[in-house]
Amino acid sequence: MRREILCAVLHLCGSALCCQNRDVKKSSIDAVIEKIIEIKESDSESDPDFIEELSLLYSRLEMSPLNINRVRESDLERLKIFSPFEINSILDYISQTGNILSFTEFALIPGVDPEKLLLLQPFLIFEGGLKRAGRYLPLESETLLRSSLVLQKRAGYMPISKEEYLKNPDIRYLGNPLHMYGRTSVGFGDKAQSIITLEKDPGERGADYFAWSATLNRLPISKRVTAERIVAGSYVARFGQGLILWNGFNIDSSWEPSANQRGEQGVTPYSGSDENLALKGIAATFESGRVTATVLFSSRAYDARIADGGYTSLLKTGLHNTPTTLSRKRTLGSDIAALNIGYSGRRLKIGTTISADNNSLLYTGRDTTLLKRAAAYGRFNANFGADFRYIFGKSIFFGEVAADISRSFASVCGVLIRYSDRGELSAVYEFSQEDYLSRHSVIKAASGGVSGFRISARQTISSKLKIYLLSKVFDNSKTFSAMVEADPYKNYKFTMRGSVQQERSYLRTDIKIGTSDRLLSHTRGDISVSKTGNTLVYGFHLHQEFVLKLFSDAVSLSSRVAWFDVQDWKNRIYSYEREMLYQFRTTALYGKGIRYYLNVKATVNRFAEIWFRYSSTIWSDREKTGEGLEMIQGPSRSDVKIQLRIRF
């Protein structure tokens, strides 16, 4: 009773905490994704499929919020924003005290970053509390339509004579330059979901990519057994630390120590547009108490180069816009069956994974390791492994060990330590023998020949100052990085990060100033240095961005102007850009010139939103851009995009 009275007082007196970001809901998907992207070491390109997966998840949670009082560890891991320690704190609090009665109480849980909780406020409810944190319809649908066009004419769309085409059919693209994308998802609360995706890439004749998935969640089978998830169609599988099955997004290194432990998500429906990523078939996860069992089957075809009665390489672009690329479409069949069994306790989590896969053709390329494997085992491969995670006080030990059909070995082991309320440290070691291979994992160690470690640390000096350290030491590369985050004044954030690598070094400074809830200024400067012979070569980048919200957030504008001078490809500078929903991206800047863009988002009504984007890059060091069929005669390239989202 005393707890209910206390929470009632907190609910009344703590309204300032809950309401200080009362505008957060309309921009919270962007804010959450930007927060998650920030923890990734940003000197590389962001994975659009990962961003689209996150955007779809949080878009659904806007309509069907997550009930914290019925949440499980896997639900919190899927949000990609909490550390394992924070997840453990939330689950322990609910276990010890019962239902959380309000967001105010939730925000006061010890060991959880309040900033993260405020970002998540629009996506959570607290059933059984003093006040329900929102109402939602059990049935929801979302339709997304997007189109883009490069305004300049590229070589692949220029008119040619019949004789030229007959001599070389690959001299011109097959279709028009429009890129078109459509996706419809329908869900019934958290119980069922279906997704249909269509895409036409530039230069293709029509909608060349079609994917679908249907998902059922938490379907009772008997008194003791529940079908936790059944997915038919396109899906991704992520287990253990990724040495056997991990065909979804992966963060290779992160400023946040806790993010260097890969949090498995099992099987999830695939909603992206990468044509060569998802498995296609059926997968099911069954749960009985603390034991889960996942079985999956997939049969699909990949794009590949075919020669000498076999395949020589896999193709990752997904483009089928010339006769040659079209002829390579889905030429390599691949079947896989896998089983994962896991036990999840409050402190100990263990699992084992077995997979077997078979390709329709032998490998006949130039890789001697793969040729030896093909000679010994033909088209077949198999993997077996075990993984674990153990929480001991303020430390988390985790790892996975795996072997393939050739008895080659791979392992990942690590530790995450919260040495104080203000600091965390992680250390991860990865090793795989040269011959080790898993065909259905994007983890580098799954392709063999990896040996090295990553160490990451975060120290909170005060509420206004954080320091991050990151080191990566592998056989063929060494990187040492540091970052300082400071919030010296309200609505003012300063970040400086630097990195020393074998090939190059860079320094980046960010200054963000929010003059009000509706106006943000972001200034960034980059310097990159590499060595060619005995000569130091420099690269520079500077941008200024403004974000403005108008008419009670019904209209949002963001605009950026950037200047860059990067004469060596080794010095290329990656710059994160705001885009339309589901289209966050990182651009690699190379050459000398300016780049600018304008984004406009308008809320038409409670059901419809529309986005428009114009971006352009103008180089001052060249008279043409691009190569081959993508070549543009002129020093600029401009893109226009439009997107419509309808939700019910």
CB 546 within 8 A of CB 575: no
C-alpha torsion sign, points 159, 161, 166, 167:
negative
pLDDT level of residue 433 (50, 70, 90 thresholds): very high
Mean per-residue pLDDT over the chain, rounded: 87
Residue-wise pLDDT tens digits, 541-571: 999 999 998 888 889 999 999 999 999 988 8
Average pLDDT over residues 127-135: 47
Pairing relationship of beta strands 348-359 and 380-392 according to DSSP bridges: antiparallel
**Per-residue confidence (pLDDT) for residue 135, from 0 to 100:** 43
Q: Which amino acid is at 151?
A: L
Contacts (Cβ under 8 Å, ≥6 apart) of 604: 610
Give which of 277, 270, 279 is closest to 215, Cα–Cα. 270
- Of residues 203 and 103, which shows the higher confidence score? 203
Which CA distances in Å does 320 have to 203, 323, 415? 8, 8, 44
């189109």: which residue's tokens? 147
List alpha helices for 462-614, DSSP H: none
Q: Whole-angstrom Cα distance, residue 583 to residue 601? A: 13
Report whether pLDDT(29) > 80.
Answer: no
**Per-residue confidence (pLDDT) for residue 40, from 0 to 100:** 65
**Per-residue confidence (pLDDT) for residue 48, from 0 to 100:** 63
Pairing relationship of beta strands 66-67 and 124-125 according to DSSP bridges: parallel
What the block records as the tokens of 285 is: 């996860």
**Per-residue confidence (pLDDT) for residue 398, from 0 to 100:** 95
Q: How many CA atoms lie within 13 A of 603 on its CB side?
A: 14
Contacts (Cβ under 8 Å, ≥6 apart) of 286: 221, 225, 226, 227, 228, 292, 293, 294
CB 486 within 8 A of CB 465: yes
- Of residues 16 and 539, which shows the higher confidence score? 539
C-alpha torsion sign, points 92, 94, 95, 96:
positive
Report whether pLDDT(434) > 70.
Answer: yes
Q: Whole-angstrom Cα distance, residue 321 to residue 31? A: 36
Q: Whole-angstrom Cα distance, residue 431 to residue 409? A: 8
What the block records as the tokens of 17 is: 């905490």
Q: Which residues pair with 465 in a beta bridge?
A: 462, 486
**Per-residue confidence (pLDDT) for residue 19, from 0 to 100:** 42
**Per-residue confidence (pLDDT) for residue 133, from 0 to 100:** 41
Q: How many CA atoms lie within 13 A of 142 on its CB side?
A: 25
Average pLDDT over residues 374-398: 94
Residue-wise pLDDT tens digits, 313-350: 999 889 999 999 999 999 999 999 999 999 988 889 99
Average pLDDT over residues 35-48: 61
Name the pTM for this structure. 0.86
Range with the poorest average pLDDT among 61-70, 126-135, 214-223, 496-505: 126-135
Average pLDDT over residues 212-236: 93
Q: Whole-angstrom Cα distance, residue 63 to residue 313? A: 43
Range with the poorest average pLDDT among 553-557, 608-612, 642-646: 553-557
Give which of 87, 98, 111, 102 is closest to 19, Cα–Cα. 102
What the block records as the tokens of 482 is: 């540091």
Residue-wise pLDDT tens digits, 473-525: 998 889 999 999 999 888 899 999 999 988 889 999 999 998 777 888 999 99
Concatenated DSSP letters for 416-473?
EEEEETTEEEEEEEEEE-TT---TTB--GGGGS-EEEEEEEEEEEEETTEEEEEEEEE
Report whether pLDDT(538) > 50.
Answer: yes
- Of residues 33 and 403, which shows the higher confidence score? 403
Percent of the chain's residues with pLDDT above 70: 91
Q: What is the 3-state secondary structure (H, E, C) of 275-324?
A: CCCCEEEEEEEEEECCEEEEEEEEEEEECEEEECCEEEEECCCCCCCCHH
**Per-residue confidence (pLDDT) for residue 49, from 0 to 100:** 65
């929480």: which residue's tokens? 391
Q: Whole-angstrom Cα distance, residue 329 to residue 251? A: 29
Report whether pLDDT(8) > 80.
Answer: no
First to last CA, the chain: 40
Phi and psi, residue 645, nearest 5°: -125, 130
- Of residues 404 and 80, which shows the higher confidence score? 404
Q: Which residues pair with 641 in a beta bridge?
A: 148, 613
Range with the poorest average pLDDT among 163-167, 210-214, 293-297, 453-457: 163-167
Contacts (Cβ under 8 Å, ≥6 apart) of 336: 279, 296, 297, 298, 355, 356, 357, 358, 439, 440
- Of residues 302 and 105, which shows the higher confidence score? 302
Average pLDDT over residues 379-403: 95
Give which of 39, 120, 25, 53 is closest to 584, Cα–Cα. 53
Phi and psi, residue 77, nearest 5°: -65, -35
Average pLDDT over residues 71-89: 82
pLDDT level of residue 146 (50, 70, 90 thresholds): very high
**Per-residue confidence (pLDDT) for residue 115, from 0 to 100:** 78
**Per-residue confidence (pLDDT) for residue 436, from 0 to 100:** 95
CB 78 within 8 A of CB 217: no
Range with the poorest average pLDDT among 64-78, 424-438, 518-532, 627-641: 64-78
Contacts (Cβ under 8 Å, ≥6 apart) of 151: 638, 639, 640
Contacts (Cβ under 8 Å, ≥6 apart) of 161: none
Report whether pLDDT(132) > 50.
Answer: no
Average pLDDT over residues 376-386: 96
Give which of 524, 588, 596, 592 is closest to 560, Cα–Cα. 596
